[in-house]
Each structure stands twice: as C-alpha cells, then as structure tokens.
Amino acid sequence: MSENTVEIFVGIDVSKSTLDVHIAPPGESLQVGNDDAGIEQICARLRQMPPTLIVMEATGGMETRLAGELAARGLCMAVVNPRQVRDFAKATGQLAKTDRIDAAVLAAFARAIRPAVRPVKDELTRELDALVTRRRQLVQMRVQEALRLHAASKVQVKSLKGHIAWLDKQIGSIETDLGERLRGSDLWRIKDDLLCSIPGVGQVTSRTMLGRCPELGGLNRRQIAKLVGIAPLNNDSGTHRGKRHIWGGRADVRSALYMATITAIRCNNTIKAFASRLKAAGKAPKVVIVACMRKLLTIMNTMIKNQTPWNSNIA
C-alpha cells in the first residue's frame, strides 16, 4: 500500500431488522434492512472502495449471513466480541449507545485495534455449531426439569416425566444428526476419529470442539489456549506479583474440555502422570485441572494440525 493510499474502515451494527453502516473516512452512514436487498446494497457499496477492514459484532448468529456474503466477495472482515467493543467505547468516552453510534464505534475500533481477520465458517461448520448449541440448550432444560422433579407434587410428576422423555428423544435425534453430518464428510470424519482416539475424549467433546472451535489445528498452542479461555493471565503491577487467573474465552468449549479432562485424569496415562507431577509439586487442585485442560487442548490441537492419531509416547 502506497503512502498516499487512504485506508477505509467500516463498522456495521447488526440488529434483527436493520443494518447500520459507518464508513470512515469520509464518515458516511447509512441504514438498510437486514434482508436480501439490504445486504446486496451494502456489498455493492463496499466493493466500490474496497475498505481496509470491516468489523461487526457477534450477535448470536444474526451477523452470519452478512459476514458470509462479505467474505464471499473477498472483503476483509472480522467478527469481534461485543464486550471488547463496549470497553473500547467507554475508554474513548463514548457512553451513549444507539445503532448509528455503535456502527461509528465499530469503525473506530477497526482503525485503532485492527482485529485479526479469520475465515468465515463454512456451511457444514455452521450447521454443526447450531446443532451443538441446540443440544446444549436441551440438556440444560433436562437438568432443570430433573431438579424440579425432586420437589414436584403428584400432579406435576406426570408432566415433568413426559417432558424429560421428550427432551431425551430430542437430544438423541440431534446426536444422530450430528453423527450423520460428521461421518458424511471425509474431512470432518477424520478429525472426529482423531479426537475420539484420545482416552477421555468422547463424542460430545469431539463434536463440541469441531462445531464450536473450528480454529482447532490452525493456531499455535498459546493462541488456542487463549481462544478457549484457559491461558493464565498476568496480574502484576510494579513489584506486586498477583495470582494468574483464566478469564474470557468460549465457555461452552471450556465446559466440554473440563469434563473430558476430569475423565482423562483417571483413564489417560499421559494426563494422569502430568496431574500427579503437579500434585506432587504442591499445586492447588484447580491449578492442576486447568493445567491438564491446557495440555489436553494442546494435544488435540497438535493432532488435528499434523493429522496424527493418538500416541501416548508422543503425547
């Protein structure tokens, strides 16, 4: 890029019915409907530039369609965590919040922070992600109903048991659908087989990792640990050295990894020996578990990256 080239940054605020766009420079703002016509209008306008970077927030899936269309047209685009953008807005003194203001803040965030551009999930990955999310929702409902069953009156028991049975059936149906989609793709079947070959890692963990963490195998061990939220973060100031804590990341992936780690500490000789060494060194139980989670994640990441099956000697 030459010195005279003007860099253009775009922020897009996504809501259910509208898309607010801010282009800086020149500071142009526009609002269109969140539909085919509106998305096409935005894509046509941005392709005329093209911008250096487009940034939008993750909004529970509402951004997926627009993000896919922008990526398909070869535009540089990043989907970021809303918390980061809100913290950035507060740091710059922008406390007011409207869709138009949010779009301008996103453009400023793009210029100042320049978040990394990651490839948009393909259709199969999005489907796996949606199914894994739906399964988790149903499991949470089942847990709630099971808890209610313990304190239920006689007139409530029949309804609760019927709903729990229905939830069991729905969860089973989603698990079957997940399995069929994974086994129907050569690439995903290989990844699933690799992960399931690790002692302690079952189908639920494997499918959660593939659906909710498609970056697995594409990042180094530090990056993937930070993405999931199990990298210890410093808390130092001057001569003070505070305790390291994990924070942020993808909570649902971390939960699945936690359950797999608890099992691996018992039945995976590599993780079991690692945990024993940490315990012998006087590490706290939670520190041991998180360290084992990080080691298990690193093993998964390396196996997917190198396409190598489980080998306890290498691990």
**Over the stretch 213-255, which tens digit does the pLDDT of each residue have?**
988 998 899 999 999 999 988 888 888 888 888 888 888 999 9
Burial 122-140 (b: 16+ CB within 10 A, else e): eebbbebbebbbebbebee
Q: What is the pLDDT of residue 123?
A: 79
**DSSP string for residues in the chain:** --TTPPP-EEEEEE-SSEEEEEEETTTEEEEEESSHHHHHHHHHHHHTS--SEEEEE--TTTTHHHHHHHHHTT--EEEE-HHHHHHHHHHTT-----HHHHHHHHHHHHHHH-PPP-PPP-HHHHHHHHHHHHHHHHHHHHHHHHHHHHT--HHHHHHHHHHHHHHHHHHHHHHHHHHHHHHTSHHHHHHHHHHHTSTT--HHHHHHHHHH-TTTTTS-HHHHHHHHT-SPBP-EETTEEPPPB---S-HHHHHHHHHHHHHHHHH-HHHHHHHHHHHHTT--HHHHHHHHHHHHHHHHHHHHHHT----TTT-
**Domain residues of the chain, as ranges?**
9-113, 122-184, 197-236+244-315
Residues forming a β-bridge with 289: none
Q: Which CATH number fits domain 9-113: 3.20.20.140, 3.40.50.720, 3.30.420.140, 3.90.230.10?
A: 3.30.420.140
The structure's pTM equals: 0.76
Q: Look up tokens 């989603």; give the residue.
A: 174
Cα→Cα distances 24→7, 32, 215, 238, Å? 9, 18, 30, 39
| Nearest partner of 278 among 259, 263, 264, 265, judged by Cα | 265
Give the CA-trace dihedral at 95, 97, 100, 104, to 10 degrees.
Answer: 30
Asked if residues 218 and 300 have their Cβ atoms less than 8 Å apart, the reply is no
Q: What is the pLDDT of residue 245?
A: 84
Q: What is the pLDDT of residue 315?
A: 62
Chain-centroid distance, C-alpha 73: 24
How many CB atoms are located within 10 Å of the residue 264 CB? Answer: 26
Which residues of the chain fall below pLDDT 70?
A: 1-4, 314-315
Q: What is the pLDDT of residue 101?
A: 93
Phi, psi (deg, nearest 5) at residue 220: -80, 175
CA distance 315 to 310: 8
